[in-house]
Chain A
Amino acid sequence: MESITQERPSTPAAIHSEPVLDSSPVSSPKTGRGIEWFTHWSIERRVLAGFGLVFACIVVISAISYRNTAILIENSRLDTKSHELLQLLDSVREALGAAESGHRRYLVTGDESYLASYRTVVERIPEYLRYLRGLTNERGDQQNRVEVLERLIARQLGAEAEAISQREKLGYEGVRHLALSGAAKNELEGILELMTELDSAEQRALLARVTQSAGSTNSTIVLLGLGALLQLVLLGSVYFLIHHDVTERRRVAAELQSRGELLEASNKELEAFSYSVSHDLRAPLRHIDGYAALLSKAAGESLDEKARRYLQTISGSAKQMGQLIDDLLVFSRMGRQDMLRTTVNLDQLVKTVLHDLRLDLQGRTISWTMHPLPSVSGDPAMLRQVFVNLISNALKFTATRSEAKIEIGVARQNSVEAEVFVRDNGVGFDMQYVDKLFGVFQRLHRNDEFEGTGIGLANVRRIIHRHGGRTWAEGALDQGATFHFSLPLARSLR
C-alpha cells in the first residue's frame, strides 16, 4: 500500500517536468543562434527580408556600375585632352625649332625672307602657349612645367630678337659668334628637356588611366553579371512564390470542397437520425400513455388513490418525454433549415407573440414596459421563436411574484446592429452558472419548481448565432434576470 501511495505523486511530476527538459535548451545549441531567430520569423517576414537583401545588392551594384561608367567617361575626356597636349607639344617643338633655325639663317645670310618666316613662327607661339595652359589646367605638376617652359621660351625668343636687332645694326660681324650655335642655345636645350618631361609625364598619366579604365570596365562587367544573376534570382523567387501561392490556394479550395462534402454527408446522417428519433421514439411513448389511460379506464374504479397516482405519473412522464423529443427536433431543425433574410419589424413581432401567449397571461398581474424596437434583418419565424422563448421564460420565472414586471427594449444601437433585452423581476439566477444558461438540457431549477426541457435558451442562442449576433445574460438570485441578444439591423436603417 505504502509503495503505491509514494509512487503516485511522483508520476505526474515526472510527466510534468519532461516537456521542460525536452524543449529549447536542448535544441538551441545544435541549431545555432543565427538560424534560430530566422526560423522564428514568419514566412512573410522571411520573404520580405530576402527581397530587401536582393534589392539592396542590386542598388549597390547599380551605384558602383554608375561610378565606374562615370570614371570611364571622364578618363576618355582626359585622354582626348592628353592626346591634344602631346600633339601640341610636337607643334611647339617644331615651331621653336623653326624659329631657331630661321633666326640663325638670317644671322648668317641677312636674307630678309628668313626673317619673315621667323616672324610668322614667333607670332604663333603665344597662341600655342595659351592652348598649352588650357590643356594642363587640371594637373598641377604639368602646369608648373608649362610655366617654366613659358619663361624659357620668352627668354629664347628674347635672345633671338636681340641677336636679330644686333645683326641689323652691326651686320654679320657683330653677331658672328652667335650665328653658328644660335642666340639661345642653352635655353633651347632646357626647353627641349622640359618638353620631354611634359611628354613623358602625360604618357604616364595616359597609361595609368588606361589601366584604371580597364579595371573599372572589368569590374563593371562582373557587377552587371552579378546584377543580372540577382535579378534572375529575384524573378525566380517571385515565380516560386506565386506558384506556391497558387498551388496553396488550389489545395485549400480542394480541401474546403471535400470538407463541405463531408459536412453535407454528416448533415444527411443527422437528418436520418432525427427522422428516426421523431418516428421511432414517439411510438413507445404513445403506447405508455395510451395503455396507462386504457388501464385507468378499465380498472379505475377498483384502484385505490395511490395506484391512480402511479398511473398519472406514468402518463405525465411519457408526455414530458414527448415534449422533450419535440423540442429537440425543433432545436436540430433550427440548425439545419434554410434561413430567410428579410426585414423583420420587431415591434410587430412582439405584439403577435404576446397575442399567441395570451392563454399563459390569464390570471396574471403583469406590468409591461415596452420600448420601441427597431427593424432587423432576419428570418421572421426563427426570430418569433426567440421572443416566444424569452417571454415565456420571463412569464414562467415570475409566476411566484404577486406582480410580474417585464421590460423589453434596446440597450444599445449603432449603425450596424441593435442590442435587445428582455428583463424580468423573477427568481433570477446565480451569476456563477451564467455559462450553463444557454446550453442544451442545462437547467438551473428543479422540475418541481419550474417545468421545462432546457432547450429554449439553447434554441435562442442557436438562432441568434445563425443571424450573426450574440447572446448573454445577467441576473442575481431572487433579483430578476435580463437576457440580451444582438441582431443586425435591417439594411434600410443603416
Chain B
Amino acid sequence: MTTVKPILLAEDNPRDAELALAAMEEHHIADKVVVCHDGAEVLDYLYCRGVFASRQQGNPVVVFLDLKMPKVDGLEVLKTIKNDLNLKPIPVVMLTSSREERDLAQSYALGANAYVVKPVEFHQFITAVKELGVFWGVINEPPPEGSDPIE
C-alpha cells in the first residue's frame, strides 16, 4: 500500500475544524486530514520546518484554506504557494464564511483553484465538506510528485 497523501486543512477555529473532521469521518477520509491552526503553521508544514521538520516529504493532495487566520492570513498563504514553483501545482480551495465579492476576486486573481462559502446549516456544511474531501482527495488526480513542467 502506497503512502496516502494527506489533505491539509487550514482552520483557526477549532470548532469549525472539528465539524469539518466530523463531516469527513462519514466518508472515512478524516484520518488523511492534517489540521493547521494558522497561516504560519501551514507554511511550516509545506516547507517541512518547525514542528513539521521531521514529517514525511511530499506535498498534500489539496489545501483547504480559511481566509481569516491569525499571523499569516489565507490570501498571503495562497500567494506564497502560487509563487513557489514546487508548491504551485497543489490545488488550493478557499473554504471561508465570506461571500464578499472582493475576497472572491482576490482569491481567484492569486490562483485559487476553487472558492467555497461555508453554509450556515450543518447538513449543507457537511455535504459541502464531504464532497470537497471526496473530490479533491479521491476523485481528482493530483499532479505527479517532483514533476516540473519547465525543466
Question: Contact residues of A with B, CB < 8 Å?
Answer: 275, 278-280, 282-283, 285-287, 289-294, 315, 318-319, 322, 329
Partner of A322, one of B22, B96, B100, B121: B121
Q: How far is the CA of A280 from the CA of B99 in the complex (A)?
A: 12
Q: How far is the CA of A279 from the CA of B126 in the complex (A)?
A: 18
Task: Give the secondary structure class of A's interface.
Answer: helix
Q: How far is the CA of A285 from the CA of B123 in the complex (A)?
A: 13
Given contacts A275-B100, A315-B122, 4 further A-B contacts (CB under 8 A): A287-B16, A289-B121, A294-B122, A322-B121
The 10 closest A-B pairs by CB, nearest first: A322-B120, A293-B122, A290-B122, A290-B19, A282-B97, A289-B122, A287-B15, A279-B97, A279-B98, A285-B120
Partner of A279, one of B15, B19, B68: B68
Are B19 and A287 interface neighbours, CB within 8 A? Answer: yes
Chain A residues near B120 (CB, 8 Å)?
Answer: 282, 285-286, 289, 318-319, 322
Cβ of B52 under 8 Å from chain A? no
Q: How far is the CA of A278 from the CA of B125 in the complex (A)?
A: 16
Q: Which of B68, B98, B121 counts the most chain A CB atoms within 10 A? A: B121
Chain A residues near B130 (CB, 8 Å)?
Answer: none
Q: Mark B13-55, 1 if CB is under 8 A from A, else 0.
A: 1011001001000000000000000000000000000000000
Nearest chain-A residue to B13 (Cβ)? A283
Q: How far is the CA of A440 from the CA of B99 in the complex (A)?
A: 22
Are A319 and B99 interface neighbours, CB within 8 A? Answer: no
Q: How far is the CA of A290 from the CA of B150 in the complex (A)?
A: 45
Are B123 and A286 interface neighbours, CB within 8 A? Answer: no
Are B100 and A278 interface neighbours, CB within 8 A? Answer: yes
Please give the distance in Å from B133's CB to the nearest CB on chain A.
16
Give 13 pairs: A residue, B residue, CB < 8 Å, sorted on A: A278-B100, A279-B96, A279-B97, A283-B13, A285-B120, A286-B19, A286-B120, A287-B15, A287-B16, A290-B19, A293-B123, A318-B120, A329-B99
Given contacts A290-B15, A290-B19, contact A283 B121 (CB under 8 A): no
Q: Which of A283, A318, A319 counts the most chain B CB atoms within 10 A? A: A283
Q: How far is the CA of A290 from the CA of B98 in the complex (A)?
A: 18
Please give the distance in Å from A373's CB to the nearest CB on chain B.
30
Q: How far is the CA of A243 from the CA of B19 in the complex (A)?
A: 71
Chain A residues near B100 (CB, 8 Å)?
Answer: 275, 278
In which size bucket is the chain B interface?
20 to 34
Question: Contact residues of B with A, CB < 8 Å?
Answer: 13, 15-16, 19, 22, 67-68, 96-100, 118-123, 125-126
Chain B residues near A286 (CB, 8 Å)?
Answer: 16, 19, 97, 118-120, 122, 125
Chain A residues near B119 (CB, 8 Å)?
Answer: 286
Please give the distance in Å from B66's CB to the nearest CB on chain A.
10
Chain A residues near B99 (CB, 8 Å)?
Answer: 278, 329
Are B97 and A278 interface neighbours, CB within 8 A? Answer: yes
Q: How far is the CA of A285 from the CA of B16 in the complex (A)?
A: 11
Q: How far is the CA of A315 from the CA of B96 in the complex (A)?
A: 21
Chain A residues near B16 (CB, 8 Å)?
Answer: 283, 286-287
Q: How far is the CA of A291 from the CA of B120 in the complex (A)?
A: 12
Nearest chain-A residue to B100 (Cβ)? A275
Are B122 and A283 interface neighbours, CB within 8 A? Answer: no
Chain A residues near B118 (CB, 8 Å)?
Answer: 282, 286
Q: How far is the CA of A291 from the CA of B125 in the complex (A)?
A: 12
Q: How far is the CA of A415 from the CA of B58 in the complex (A)?
A: 70
Please give the distance in Å from B15's CB to the nearest CB on chain A.
5
Please give the distance in Å from A298's CB to the nearest CB on chain B.
10
Q: How far is the CA of A283 from the CA of B97 in the complex (A)?
A: 7
Chain B residues near A290 (CB, 8 Å)?
Answer: 15, 19, 22, 122, 125-126
Please give the distance in Å from B101's CB to the nearest CB on chain A.
8
Chain B residues near A287 (CB, 8 Å)?
Answer: 15-16, 19
Q: How far is the CA of A329 from the CA of B101 in the complex (A)?
A: 12
Q: How far is the CA of A283 from the CA of B16 in the complex (A)?
A: 8
Chain B residues near A322 (CB, 8 Å)?
Answer: 120-121
Chain B residues near A294 (CB, 8 Å)?
Answer: 19, 22, 122
Are B121 and A319 interface neighbours, CB within 8 A? Answer: yes
Q: How far is the CA of A288 from the CA of B118 in the complex (A)?
A: 14
Nearest chain-A residue to B68 (Cβ)? A279
Q: How far is the CA of A292 from the CA of B125 in the complex (A)?
A: 13
Please give the distance in Å from A386's CB to the nearest CB on chain B.
21
Q: How far is the CA of A238 from the CA of B16 in the complex (A)?
A: 73
Chain B residues near A291 (CB, 8 Å)?
Answer: 15, 19
Q: How far is the CA of A282 from the CA of B121 in the complex (A)?
A: 10
Q: How far is the CA of A329 from the CA of B19 in the complex (A)?
A: 25
Chain A residues near B98 (CB, 8 Å)?
Answer: 275, 278-279
Nearest chain-A residue to B99 (Cβ)? A278
Chain B residues near A319 (CB, 8 Å)?
Answer: 120-121
Please give the distance in Å from B100's CB to the nearest CB on chain A.
5
Q: How far is the CA of A212 from the CA of B97 in the complex (A)?
A: 101
Q: Which of A280, A283, A286 counts the most chain B CB atoms within 10 A? A: A286
Please give the distance in Å from A277's CB to the nearest CB on chain B.
10
Nearest chain-B residue to A287 (Cβ)? B15
Q: How far is the CA of A315 from the CA of B122 in the complex (A)?
A: 9
Nearest chain-B residue to A329 (Cβ)? B99
